[in-house]
Structure 1
Amino acid sequence: MAPVKNTSVKEERKEWARAQRQERIIGMAAQLLAKCDIEEITLEDVAKSSGYTIQNLYQYFKNKDDLFAAVLLKKLKVMYADAESAVERTTLGIDRIITLGDKYVDFCLRNKRYFDLQMHFERKFCAYHKLTAKKTRGDFIVQCQGVIDQVSDLAIDAIKSGIEDRSIKTHLKPLHLMLLLWAQMLGVIQVITMRQRYFKEIYELTSEKFRRDFKDSIQAYLSSGQGK
């Protein structure tokens, strides 16, 4: 039995070493992303920075998109855990959806390149809520879609809860309302990103006030039943 045990230990060490190398590659790709957009980064850049060859990279990732999906996945998991924790501390459905939206907007504005990276995958693969991503898209892309679906489910559950406790008044199905709110949040993020430096001079407001006004308008819309 001893040889079997030794073989098992060797396999565990081998898997640990593989995981460490993979994490190093992901970490170096994240460092490059902090300086450049994904379109400007090549696999050659990542390989050179991490001390491996391109052939080594293909042992861990199917392609460039799979690699940067792994980079995005780490951030998405942190964002989801933070959002889930914040939502659990609220009671009314309307407070849950407002809190979730606020957390997502905050995440995107604090992590602009990761927001751009998420939009890159949205545009390129269009694997939307509850659609099964094709295996050819890469394992990490599939995992990213799973986390995004979890965030969507948080929003849908919050809306359902709000309809049940009557803090949200709407004729829309929860899935449809989630999509509508998602679209509005993306618009707010884009406006702040593109026009923030002109807010005070032209619009006479700050990005913080713009966000508060948006949140207040959404809360008023959901609670008043204006969408009926």
Structure 2
Amino acid sequence: MDNLFKATKRESAVDIVVNSIKQLLADKKLLPGDKLPNELEISEGLGVSRGSVREAMKILSAFGLIDIRVGNGTYVSDSPSSELLDSLLFTYFITNPDLTSLYEFRRIFETDIVRLAIDHYDENQEQRNSLRENLKELDALIQEGAAPEKILKNDMDFHHILGEASCNALASRIYYFVMDSFRASISHTHKHQNGEYVYKAHSQIYHIIESKAYDDIEECIKQTIDIWYDLLQD
């Protein structure tokens, strides 16, 4: 790593450090889990003060790009920062998008999640088994006339498992956040039914994944989200 850190353009000292590390990550010269050189090595390599390096590390840590381990050094983060991701998505939702925008957003994203679940069919046997068990549980809840809260929990669990079935950590995290953000609206739709609409929708999604029916994904997701959309307006 002796020649990794070189200043190439006029920037503030802190920006030089931040942008240099971001570029090394983009170029894959630094990989998740890699240990960074110490402050002195970085400051000498980039021609900036150690104070500037320290400030840059605070910024990169806040963005979840690096992990500062006291007494053990600084490392490239192994996984995307959930705090940053949640913050970005929260910003979207607090802009108060109308129901149509939320409908479009959910339809696009859920379509892609199901497509990824089929793409990774050979890797997600455990999650597909969990989806099947979730449907069995829902059927039992319907038969016993369970409280809406239990139906809602089963509903949310299905979507969380579906996100994991995408075998894409970033997509799964976003989908998890999106569905949790829709929890209140999904709960509202349960007041109009006893789980039968949920069972129909989730069964269709499950069978499309199991049959690898790529051509049916968009229409299936449209139908299931149409139910959610229509019930919200009652």
The two structures have a TM-score, normalised by structure 1, of 0.33
The structure with more helix, counted as a fraction of residues: 1
Larger radius of gyration: 2
